[in-house]
Amino acid sequence: MDAAPAPAVSLSAPPLGVSAASFVSSFDRFAVSPMLVVIATDLGVPLSASVTAASGYYLAYGLTQPLWGVLSDRFGRVRVMRGALVGAAVAGLVSALMPALWALVAARVVTGACFGAVIPTGLTYVGDTVRPALRQRALTDLMSATALGTALATGLGGALAGLVSWRAAFTVPAACALACALALRSLPEPARDGAPAGVRRFLGMVLGQRWALLVFALAFTEGAIMLGVMPFLAPALEHSGVAAALAGLGITAYGIGLWAQAKLVKRLSGRWPAPLLMTVGGAQLVAGFALAAATVNLVTVAVTALLLGGGWSFLHSSLQTWATSVVPQARGTTIAFFAAALFVGSAVSSWAAGPLAEAGRYPLLFGLAAVAAAPLTAVAALTRRRYGGVRAG
């Protein structure tokens, strides 16, 4: 499992193997939701029970981020990615063979924990190997790969489960994960700042840095607004009378918007300052959620999904780029805590929003998200500007 040694790596874009692994991780994470009904029917359990196969996966995906970050700082980015991909491949294949729900949930928890290492470690690899002037462009390339995985998963996951089997839908990304692990064998391990340190020192570096704590707080808030509220767009459509299949099709506009505007961010990142990119992204979040709060129908929700995809491209890529620079000596740990904050924020938000959704009060839910996105944007842009001034000084 050792990566090829290299004293230094200088790139202008993420390696193809890293992008492919991020695509597979994103596909596996989003493919399960459309096939929960099929799983429930096949295993003879209620839908509410089959949802644990998804929630357990997401929980493990988020909570293991700090562990993977510390491991990548200690043992290397490529080694951690390859080991995690092999683990995800094995757990994914086991998932496809499970005859009972409890066994399936256990296998999906392990799969989520392993796939949880891929995207944050890939982001860290980009942070290690791409110079700051080109870093946001490279990160948007990586985001495009994850966006494509998201868009295809929402459409193909359910179709594959319905036409073939939900077991096949778990087998395909597992096989792709193994192929990615093999493809990364020749990827050089990047040089890192400073000598290897222990876990406690990495944690001290990150948690003792005030700018890092600020970025984590922004990620938590962004996750709460975006990842916590966006999944309620499809249920809102279904509540208004739109068929489930058509509602899911409307939400695929998110992946399209993310992919398309990630390309735009790549062109603008060398010309526009980060605070301006954040402002454009945040404005799209406000507009998108405000539109859904005003009226819920297939057209408005599709436009909202497009705007949220664009907002994520501009705002999140800027926050990611910032996270790669605040503690360069412990970049893997920093990115892992960043990702963990994002997913914990989404979990808290979705839990808090549940009663509003159950009562059908979707306009209020989306209105609150629109209101919350405005101060998030202002604080992110202003503090990023301040950070640039401090660094320049």
pLDDT at 74: 83
Closest CA to 43 of 88, 97, 90, 94: 97
Angle, helix 101-115 to helix 16-31, in steps of 10 degrees:
150
pLDDT at 245: 62
Q: CA dihedral defined by 203, 58, 306, 360, rounded to 10 degrees?
A: -120
Closest CA to 157 of 15, 259, 53: 53
pLDDT at 9: 58
Decide: 212 and 326 in contact? Cβ < 8 Å: yes
DSSP state of 186: G
Residue 373: count of CB within 10 angstroms of its CB: 28
Could you tell me the two tokens for 281? 């992204």
Residue 99: count of CB within 10 angstroms of its CB: 7
pLDDT at 123: 84
3-state secondary structure at position 4:
strand
Could you tell me the two tokens for 28? 């596996």
Q: Can you give the length of the chain in residues?
A: 393
pLDDT at 26: 87
Residue in the block written with tokens 């005859």: 99
Cα separation, 176 vs 158, in Å, equals 18
What string of DSSP letters covers 291-339? Answer: HHHH--SHHHHHHHHHHHHHHIIIIIHHHHHHHHHH-GGGHHHHHHHHH
Cα separation, 137 vs 11, in Å, equals 11
Decide: 174 and 92 in contact? Cβ < 8 Å: yes
Burial class (CB in 10 A: 0-12, 13-18, 19+), 69: buried
pLDDT at 34: 64
pTM of the model: 0.76
Decide: 262 and 143 in contact? Cβ < 8 Å: yes
Please name the residue ranges forming H helices in the chain.
Answer: 16-31, 36-43, 47-50, 52-63, 65-75, 77-97, 101-115, 118-129, 132-163, 166-183, 199-207, 210-229, 233-239, 244-251, 253-268, 274-294, 298-311, 317-326, 331-358, 362-392
pLDDT at 6: 42
Decide: 64 and 330 in contact? Cβ < 8 Å: no
Cα separation, 287 vs 315, in Å, equals 14
pLDDT at 162: 67
Pick out the chain residues at pLDDT < 50: 1-7, 195, 392-393
Which distant-in-sequence residues (6+ apart) come within 8 Å of 362 by Cβ? 232, 235, 236, 239, 292, 296, 356
pLDDT at 199: 65
Burial class (CB in 10 A: 0-12, 13-18, 19+), 95: buried
Decide: 277 and 312 in contact? Cβ < 8 Å: no
First and final C-alpha spacing in the chain:
43
Residue in the block written with tokens 């990566």: 3
Closest CA to 95 of 46, 159, 32: 32
